Structure 1
Amino acid sequence: MSSKPTRQAMPEHDAVEGSAENAEQALTPGAVLDHGRYRLLAKVGSDPRCDAELWRAKDGVLGRDVALTILTGDRSDSQSASSARRTLERAMHASTFNHVGVARVLDVVTPAPGDPDGVLGVVIAEWTHGTDLLDLVSEGPLPPGTAARLLQPLAAAVEAAHHAGLVLGADHPQRIRVTPEGEVRMAFPGPLSAASSTDDVRGLGAALYLLLTGRWALDGAPEGLALAPTGPDGTIVAPRTLRPTVPLELSTVALRALGSQDGNGTTGGVRTGAAVLRVLEQHATFDGPTSVVQQPPTSGDTHEVWSTQDPKPDKVKRKKLAISVGALAVATLLVIGWIAANLIGIFAGGDQAEGPSKTLGEPDQQARPVPVQVTGGTPIIKEQTPDSPDKIPNLYDGDPSTSWATDSYNDQFGSGFKSGTGTLLTLQRPTSVREVVIDSPSAGTVVEVRAANGPNPNVDASPLLGQQTLNAGQTTIPIAQGQPTQNLIVWVKQLAPSGGKYQSRINEITVQGSAS
């Protein structure tokens, strides 16, 4: 089979009329398409919005399973034929797009003699092993961190496709599957004839809403799937209202990606896959990536191919284990060394010990952190404009009655057009920072402290030294020991709620370092 899909347009009327036997033939397991090449194995779902049936089939030429999106309708209906042609053309254009979050389009074919009557065209894609997206929520919604992790590949695929000028059509739950590796994937390409990039973003919001609540928030839901509830004004109820354990940012981005339900195609402030992906990355957890999707085959599915390989080792757990073993080994060596030193002192020492006496466990005075003077500060941002740049000196002037504040935002950082804001502090000397104390009235503000390698640092590339959610008053952020630095980034990545909006205020920042 050619690597490129068949380049032929859908005829307005099929040249070969189906026989009486053909007219009675239905799309059932065992039926064949495209001159007998594709044999239907099992129906996976349907998309009634475009009269599409989703099937798993066997490619008789190459001997592999494939995913078929079969467009059906009346061949004599010009509107149905035109809509099907447009879908096939869009799928054809997507055949050159390769991404882990989308099944690759292998071929696009128009009706052939012998096909069941009513078939207007077929999009053939590689088969995605794993499980149906709806199976994941059949016993209840997922933990928020797991939902965020699973959805990342699809969000990245949506963003990449939009940059390439393509639309995926990722706005129906049965078109999406989850791989054995724990990644959500667009398994049945073939966007609706009128679909736009906005529909893909709304699809991401609906998929996230589904994983967080077990409910679908767009039209065309499969039969039996619970729909998202709406409030008295007709707006969709936020996931956090249904499940208080859902983080505010995930709930907000799902709701804003869904946008308006009045059919005008607008969104509620989230217009790109990148905006959704940024929030997913912040909340994803990696607690056993394959545990959610690897299941034994059911007796009713005789065609599924399930992985028999051992689960891949979790890199995060292996790293934590290595750190723990290393720390235990170092502690053991220190204890052995201390015992050996004491034994040598007992047998080799005189009546009087040399040097000053010290009781074991007495705190080392020089180990206590000491204040480090901050000599300057400049605003630092990733996008848009800095917040209150003229007030930054108030952060280190020694006067808690003065303060610096962010702008007042309608959206939380990460769900709108800004991912954070902060300041670059210059210390009096290169110092091994031990802790940073922040005096702030804005409880709930999340602050990161990073080491900067110069006056114009890249925030994301700067080493993270510590992170803390601020309380009202003074909050101490312990700092991981590292190389001395003379520049610190204090980065506000989450704002505190303030009068229906979001804003944070900081009165004073104090830096404590190791004594020289």
Structure 2
Amino acid sequence: MNGQTDQRAARTDAQQTPVPEDPATDHTRDTGDDAAGAAPRERPSPVRRTEEQATAKVPAQSHATGRIPAARDAVGTSAGSPLTDRYVLRQRIGADPSAGAEFWRAEDTVLRRPVGVTLLRRLPADDRSDDPEGTARAGEMIVRALRSGCFEHAGSARLLDVLAPGTHGLPADVLGAAVAEWVPGRSLAEAVADGPVRSHRAAKAVETLAAAATEAHQQGLVLGCDHPQRVRITPDGRALLAFLLPRPSVSAADDVRGLGGILYCLLTRRWPLSVADAARAGLVAADRTPAGRLRAPSALRPGVPLELDTLCSGALGQDEGIGRVHTAAAMHRMLTDVVAEDADQAFFPPVRDGAPSDPDDVWQDSDRVPDTRDDPNRRRNLRIGLSVLGVGVLLVLGYLGIQVGALFGAGSGGPPVVVNPPVASAPATPAPPPAQAASTALTPSTVSVFDPTGDGDNASDVGQVLDGNPATAWRTQQYYQPFPALKEGVGIMASFDGVQPISRLTVESATPGTVVEVRSAPTADAPLERTDTITTVTLRGGETVIPLDGAPPTGHVLLWITSLGGGGSDNASQIGEISFERAIQ
């Protein structure tokens, strides 16, 4: 089995062998042993033998020994653990406890490429105990994965390999696994972290996934896209199914609800289905009315088009009768119409839907200009200006009063009026030299991991660079080869409230030799090529002060790591604290 699946994964550019829907009707003739005139005999296809191994062989082994055979040197699944002799687990992305599944980013050590792996774990804490329920569930999920091996669509990651129960090299706590192409981009939670997505972009993102679900349902298959961590958003804005092996109970109706949930989440930043899945994925659970109904997207975000508002309610089962969306094909047609209508109106400014415009949008919002109405420096300058204007008005009025008095009192014979009597002047003192520009501490409003080609190294720890505690730090993943072997680099994006004149940057690091490019960015999610390099510095052990005098004011600063500390197979960098100072004019 392992040899067959490894051979399938190695032929990435060749067409995969389709899996018949009914393996009992798929036979080949074996004529190699019939040279002496014996009658030819039938033998089952390799796919049929694989299914029989997953469904019939596994329960027999569980009944006899209480566990699945594994290599003697297999270890528990964790980052860096091998999965058979070919794959190495790198980063845990998420989990689906209802399916007993975990989602991992792994590395194919033969083809040197990242892959997405869905692991099926044993449910009990002790993996040596008997788990007939989990074994039966895993066998059924593996069989369904084998039957969907011929399914390919642009809205779903392609299945590369299936590791059935009993495969040599599986850890003892793993019942099986599915290996798929790695989907670059961001998770659903990361896609809405900075705010909701524009309505037309949300519709366009779900359209591709709805097309994949439509074709899968026509072939009698399901995707299992009702879990937020199974879906990823590509750099070009498409929602793709990244992790396969849905739970056995999932149906086509669950896929329709999942499509509605993804659209609802992109529009509102809230997950409308399972509250536990929302918390596990880092999303906020959707609000409900006292009657138990979901609040419409337009109620949370005024400006959402009526078509998408109705589509979300219909797909999530909030509407009955004519408003209910029952199939993925119906949802795909409606999303296609919304996207086409938006393309027809590209020459007109879009309706404000509560989301900021993207940098590449033709029509930009006027509120992208920083709002300075609450700027304390602006209020102080305004008070000084009004005070100077008031003093000037008083001097002008006094001068005019004196002139008018002199004009009307010229014929009275009184003493002449002296406007400016001479005053003995004191010795002139030299003016003090101009004070040098002072600076004050400046704290970013947000920090995030900037990783255009990955998932963000240890993204949950990046806030520790602003906690004021040097003992806590953010650290990159450990790379076996230095940059740019796997990626060009990774960094930290610091965003401020408005454009700031930054004069100095201080970095606390315990990995000397790390090379950092300090860049300014127009937005927090701008691509690397749209950022401008301010300076490049090599970090020392401890505190490194980076002067930024003369740098243009900016609202976003990127610390782009182009060379990691360490060496050999231990390439990693660590940043404990970062602090900024702004110049006071």
Please give the secondary structure, in 2, of the residue aligned with 1:49: helix
Matching of residue 60 in structure 1 with residue 109 in structure 2: yes
Q: Which residue of 2 aligns with 1:221?
A: 278
- CA deviation after TM superposition for structure 1 residue 145, in Å: 1.0
Q: Which residue of 2 aligns with 1:253?
A: 311
Cα gap change, 1:305 to 1:150, in 2 (>3 Å) = farther
CA contact (8 A) 1:198 1:266 kept: no
- CA deviation after TM superposition for structure 1 residue 88, in Å: 1.2
Q: Which residue of 2 aligns with 1:102?
A: 156
Q: Which residue of 2 aligns with 1:47?
A: 96
Q: Which residue of 2 aligns with 1:9?
A: 54
How high is the TM-score relative to the length of structure 1? 0.53
- CA deviation after TM superposition for structure 1 residue 116, in Å: 2.5
Identical residues among aligned pairs (%): 39
| Mapping 1:71-470, distance limit 5 Å | 71-74=120-123, 76-111=130-165, 112-219=167-274, 220-223=277-280, 224-259=282-317, 269-284=324-339, 285=342, 296=452, 298=456, 300=458
How high is the TM-score relative to the length of structure 2? 0.47
CA contact (8 A) 1:259 1:266 kept: no
Match of 1:26 among 68, 71, 76: 76
CA contact (8 A) 1:16 1:113 kept: no
Task: Determine the C-alpha separation between the residues in 1 that align with 2:134 and 2:240.
Answer: 28
- CA deviation after TM superposition for structure 1 residue 305, in Å: 5.0
Cα gap change, 1:267 to 1:299, in 2 (>3 Å) = farther
Cα gap change, 1:83 to 1:241, in 2 (>3 Å) = same
Task: Determine the C-alpha separation between the residues in 2 that align with 1:135 and 1:207.
Answer: 13
Which ranges of 4 or more aligned residues in structure 1 deviate by more than 4 Å?
Answer: 4-7, 14-22, 265-268, 285-292, 297-307
- CA deviation after TM superposition for structure 1 residue 282, in Å: 2.9
- CA deviation after TM superposition for structure 1 residue 137, in Å: 0.5
What is the aligned length? 303
Cα gap change, 1:306 to 1:134, in 2 (>3 Å) = farther
Amino acid at match of 2:266: L
Alpha-carbon displacement from aligned partner over 1:459-487 (angstroms, at most 9, x marks no partner) = xxxxxxxxxxxxxxxxxxxxxxxxxxxxx
Amino acid at match of 2:151: F
Amino acid at match of 2:221: L
Matching of residue 38 in structure 1 with residue 87 in structure 2: yes
CA contact (8 A) 2:318 2:324 kept: no
Please give the secondary structure, in 1, of the residue aligned with 2:314: helix
Task: Determine the C-alpha separation between the residues in 2 that align with 1:160 and 1:16.
Answer: 35
Larger of the two Rg values belongs to structure: 2
Amino acid at match of 2:231: I
- CA deviation after TM superposition for structure 1 residue 178, in Å: 1.6
CA contact (8 A) 1:56 1:68 kept: yes
Alpha-carbon displacement from aligned partner over 1:126-149 (angstroms, at most 9, x marks no partner) = 111122122111122111111011
Task: Determine the C-alpha separation between the residues in 2 that align with 1:290 and 1:271.
Answer: 37
**Structure with more of its chain in helix, by fraction:** 2
CA contact (8 A) 1:129 1:305 kept: no
Task: Determine the C-alpha separation between the residues in 2 that align with 1:45 and 1:266.
Answer: 36
The unaligned stretches of length 5 or more in structure 2 are 1-6, 9-15, 18-46, 347-356, 362-449, 459-475, 480-485, 490-525, 528-585
Q: Which residue of 1 aligns with 2:386?
A: none
Amino acid at match of 1:115: L
Task: Determine the C-alpha separation between the residues in 2 that align with 1:163 and 1:85.
Answer: 24
CA contact (8 A) 1:296 1:306 kept: no
- CA deviation after TM superposition for structure 1 residue 37, in Å: 1.3
Alpha-carbon displacement from aligned partner over 1:258-309 (angstroms, at most 9, x marks no partner) = 1169xxx9996101112212222233356899969x96455656577589xx
CA contact (8 A) 1:182 1:290 kept: no
Amino acid at match of 1:94: S
Cα gap change, 1:61 to 1:299, in 2 (>3 Å) = closer
Amino acid at match of 2:295: V
CA contact (8 A) 1:259 1:268 kept: no
- CA deviation after TM superposition for structure 1 residue 124, in Å: 0.9
**CA-atom RMSD, angstroms?**
3.3
Which region of structure 1 is more displaced relative to structure 2, 193-202 or 4-13?
Answer: 4-13
- CA deviation after TM superposition for structure 1 residue 64, in Å: 2.1
The unaligned stretches of length 5 or more in structure 1 are 312-516
Task: Determine the C-alpha separation between the residues in 2 that align with 1:280 and 1:189.
Answer: 24
CA contact (8 A) 2:102 2:121 kept: yes
Task: Determine the C-alpha separation between the residues in 2 that align with 1:190 and 1:267.
Answer: 33
Amino acid at match of 1:90: R
- CA deviation after TM superposition for structure 1 residue 28, in Å: 1.2
Please give the secondary structure, in 2, of the residue aligned with 1:221: helix
Alpha-carbon displacement from aligned partner over 1:43-93 (angstroms, at most 9, x marks no partner) = 111112212110011112232221100011146221111111111111111
CA contact (8 A) 2:226 2:257 kept: yes
Amino acid at match of 1:257: A
Cα gap change, 1:192 to 1:209, in 2 (>3 Å) = same
Alpha-carbon displacement from aligned partner over 1:95-123 (angstroms, at most 9, x marks no partner) = 10111001111121124344333211101
Task: Determine the C-alpha separation between the residues in 2 that align with 1:92 and 1:59.
Answer: 20
Cα gap change, 1:296 to 1:167, in 2 (>3 Å) = closer
Cα gap change, 1:268 to 1:226, in 2 (>3 Å) = farther
